[in-house]
Structure 1
Amino acid sequence: LKRLIFIDNELKSKSYPNKKLLAQKYQVSQKTIQRDIEFLINQYEAPIEYDYKRKGYHYYREFSLNPLKLDEGDFFMLALTEKVLQQYRNSPFRNHIIKFYEKIKTLFNDEISIYSNELNDVMSFEIGPMREVNKEYFDKLEKAIREKLIVEIKYHTLYTDTYSVRKIDPYHLKNYKGDWYLIAYCHTKKDIRVFALSRIKNLKLKDYNFKKIDNIKIDEIMKSSFGIYLDNKIWKVKIKFSFYQARWIKEKKWHSSQSIRENRDGSIILSIEVNNLEEIKRWILQYGKEAEVISPKALREEIKTEFRESLKKYK
């Protein structure tokens, strides 16, 4: 494929290269170049001819090489991919994304541009604000996970606004709603914890390895989470949604454990089992008077406190 693109570029330059020159530039035999030219003519209907006066090959009419033989739907998907990738321009993969897409564009620049312009009128994408991640830390953590290296971090806990130094065994990097998190075994807490990468203020790789907990599966660890954070206790949460709000709640799958019971008045009871109340509390609060926590009592009391404190601000 690279050689075909090379030959295509040489022919487009209108320098009339011959087989000997092409073979020397690409360091292959003239027979290989001959086969490539025949392949371009037979398989891609490339308008190549030999100019005896100039003693070299050229295109005798306009031609665009499509080495992957992409159809209209493929070009649309490439244009769509560009739009999606743009949403992660601030991610640690930014440079890799740019390099990858530039390579694709060199092959199909005109076609992608056409479909990209059309796509602007058809659809758009928007994600929420993302916290910046230190690319050096991200790369080191990726290396530590692959090589099972213990890591020492200085971490900022926002809840208490304190800093602590932790030794951790990094297991997995997870992107959740645009932000990056590290799932790791914390030597201080002697348990698996989730760390926001944006709150890691210093990071050092140790020169010794950790032994991963047997049969640990990230999907299983995160299964009971209602977001990204973990706790050890499982809470059985029941929320009543009004007839008005129930229509929207029923549209989505909010959690793998959820079940919905419909009441005669059109309201519903959403039941979910989660291992952390903080994130589901924030979710419930956004629905205001349309949602009522039935259980557990601890969560119901927290919601009452939140509304009581909020009400004080509006007196």
Structure 2
Amino acid sequence: MGMNDRIYLIDQMLAERRFVTIPQLLERLEVSLATLKRDLSILRDRMQAPIIFDKELGGYRYEKQDQTSKFELPGLWFSAEEIHALLTTYHLLSNLDTGGLLGGHIKPLLSRLTALLGVADNSIEEIQKRVRIEMMNVRRVQLEHFEAVGSALLKRRRLRIEYYARGTNQTTQRELSPQRLINYRGNWYLDGWCHLRNDLRSFSIDSIRCVELLAAKAKDISEKKLNEILGSGYGIFSGKATQWATLHFTPEISRWVSTESWHPEQKGRFLVGGCYELKIPYSKATELLMDIMKYGAGVKVIAPPSLVDRVSKELNSMLAIYE
């Protein structure tokens, strides 16, 4: 009998009886005392089962619980989607600096996720070795900033922040009405109404230098308008889409790109000869340019002319470095 089967059987015996003695468990499970103690420890420590040894009864039992907090044994096997979700959550939480007020909540949550991922025959270390999620180019976020943003979102209050823009190397004071948090390519962003610019903006949480929760009520923007302005173009700092980019990929690269989702409204088709044509909306070309450049000679920008010119200038600048 495997460990998973034994744990389910122990849970069943404890749920059905007032108490269960050690001899009863050993006889039913057909294991040694050391193995039984290890299984009970896994139930208690990893899976948070409320098991206690009652000296008066001379056996193990579950502590009395109300219906709202009644213990239920979690599934010991996860689907691919569930493993991905658990590991992604684990990595996202691990990437937060665990200082500040939420530190006391993040660490137990990580412990709980570790327990969930380690309830099978293999340990959390074994699962992480066999199923890996590489979070590339992820920037660390200060927990107190993340906490303040989350509080403002839920309480619908404004924020005053000191924001560092890497592109311009400048720091500005902003007052924001936060709208929603987004984790994009492993990094956290805040969509908010900027009262300084009187417009919607996306702010990288890791670029916030100081943050203050204000008493003023946040300005509410409809989800439709948020998606229209910040979700219609390409990339996280998109703005309202104004142009469509047309890209042609070589037959070899097409075998990958044709299965990828670059934008919810993208249009793609195979051309004669095996090339793949991809059309995507964009407003600011910064992020789109980076994604185009990574394919090198495997992609050609067809339209619009402004994007063709920008890619051409970028390639010439790169070439000049090596000449």
TM-score (norm 2): 0.71
1:221, distance to aligned residue in structure 2 (A): 4.1
Does structure 1 residue 198 correspond to structure 2 residue 206?
yes
Aligned counterpart, 1:114: 122
> Among the aligned pairs, what percent are the same residue?
22
Aligned counterpart, 2:288: 280
Instruction: Look up the equivalent residue of 2:96 and give its one-letter code.
Output: S
Which secondary structure state, in structure 1, belongs to the residue aligned with residue 322 of structure 2? Answer: coil
- Map 1:159-198 to 2 at 5 A: 159-198=167-206
Which secondary structure state, in structure 2, belongs to the residue aligned with residue 87 of structure 1? Answer: helix
Spell out, residue by residue over 1:236-255, the C-alpha distance to the aligned partner (whole angstroms, 9 max, x if none).
11001111211111121221
Aligned counterpart, 1:43: 16
Aligned counterpart, 1:90: 95
Aligned counterpart, 1:3: none
Aligned 8 A contact 1:153 1:201 in 2: yes
> How many pairs does the alignment contain?
271
Distance 1:195 1:58, change over 3 A: same
Instruction: Look up the equivalent residue of 1:43 and give its one-letter code.
Output: E
Which secondary structure state, in structure 1, belongs to the residue aligned with residue 313 of structure 2? Answer: helix
Aligned 8 A contact 1:223 1:256 in 2: no
1:103, distance to aligned residue in structure 2 (A): 5.0
Distance 1:173 1:147, change over 3 A: same
1:291, distance to aligned residue in structure 2 (A): 0.8
> Quick one: distance in 1 between partners of 2:280 and 2:82?
39
1:94, distance to aligned residue in structure 2 (A): 6.7
Instruction: Look up the equivalent residue of 2:109 and give its one-letter code.
Output: F
Aligned counterpart, 2:235: 227
Spell out, residue by residue over 1:151-173, the C-alpha distance to the aligned partner (whole angstroms, 9 max, x if none).
21111111111111111111111
Aligned counterpart, 2:58: 58
Which secondary structure state, in structure 1, belongs to the residue aligned with residue 153 of structure 2? Answer: helix
Instruction: Look up the equivalent residue of 1:136 and give its one-letter code.
Output: E
Aligned 8 A contact 2:160 2:175 in 1: yes
Aligned counterpart, 1:244: 252
> Quick one: distance in 1 between partners of 2:266 and 2:118?
48
Aligned counterpart, 2:34: none
Which secondary structure state, in structure 1, belongs to the residue aligned with residue 220 of structure 2? Answer: coil
Aligned counterpart, 1:256: 264
Distance 1:120 1:163, change over 3 A: closer
Which secondary structure state, in structure 2, belongs to the residue aligned with residue 131 of structure 1? Answer: coil
Which secondary structure state, in structure 1, belongs to the residue aligned with residue 206 of structure 2? Answer: helix
1:147, distance to aligned residue in structure 2 (A): 1.9
Distance 1:153 1:110, change over 3 A: closer
Larger Rg: 1
Distance 1:279 1:81, change over 3 A: closer
Does structure 1 residue 207 correspond to structure 2 residue 208?
no
Residue among 298, 305, 309 paired with 2:317: 309
Instruction: Look up the equivalent residue of 1:290 and give its one-letter code.
Output: G
1:73, distance to aligned residue in structure 2 (A): 2.1
> Quick one: distance in 2 between partners of 1:268 and 1:55?
72
> Quick one: distance in 1 between partners of 2:219 and 2:127?
49
Instruction: Look up the equivalent residue of 2:72 and give its one-letter code.
Output: L
Aligned 8 A contact 2:96 2:140 in 1: yes
- Map 1:16-27 to 2 at 5 A: none
Spell out, residue by residue over 1:160-211, the C-alpha distance to the aligned partner (whole angstroms, 9 max, x if none).
1111111111111111111111111111211100111111111122221133
Which secondary structure state, in structure 1, belongs to the residue aligned with residue 316 of structure 2? Answer: helix
Q: Structure 1: which 5+ runs fail to align?
A: 1-38
Does structure 1 residue 130 correspond to structure 2 residue 138?
yes
> Quick one: distance in 1 between partners of 2:15 and 2:156?
51
C-alpha RMSD of matched pairs (Å): 3.6
Instruction: Look up the equivalent residue of 1:99 and give its one-letter code.
Output: P
Which secondary structure state, in structure 2, belongs to the residue aligned with residue 56 of structure 1? Answer: coil
> Quick one: distance in 1 between partners of 2:80 and 2:256?
32
Distance 1:208 1:116, change over 3 A: closer
> Quick one: distance in 1 between partners of 2:55 and 2:175?
69
Q: Structure 2: which 5+ runs fail to align?
A: 1-11, 23-53, 64-69
1:71, distance to aligned residue in structure 2 (A): 4.9
Residue among 275, 279, 291 paired with 1:271: 279
Residue among 111, 118, 122 paired with 1:102: 111
1:121, distance to aligned residue in structure 2 (A): 6.0
> Quick one: distance in 1 between partners of 2:273 and 2:132?
38
* Poorly superposed stretches of 4+, deviation over 6 Å: 63-66, 75-81
> Quick one: distance in 1 between partners of 2:146 and 2:135?
21
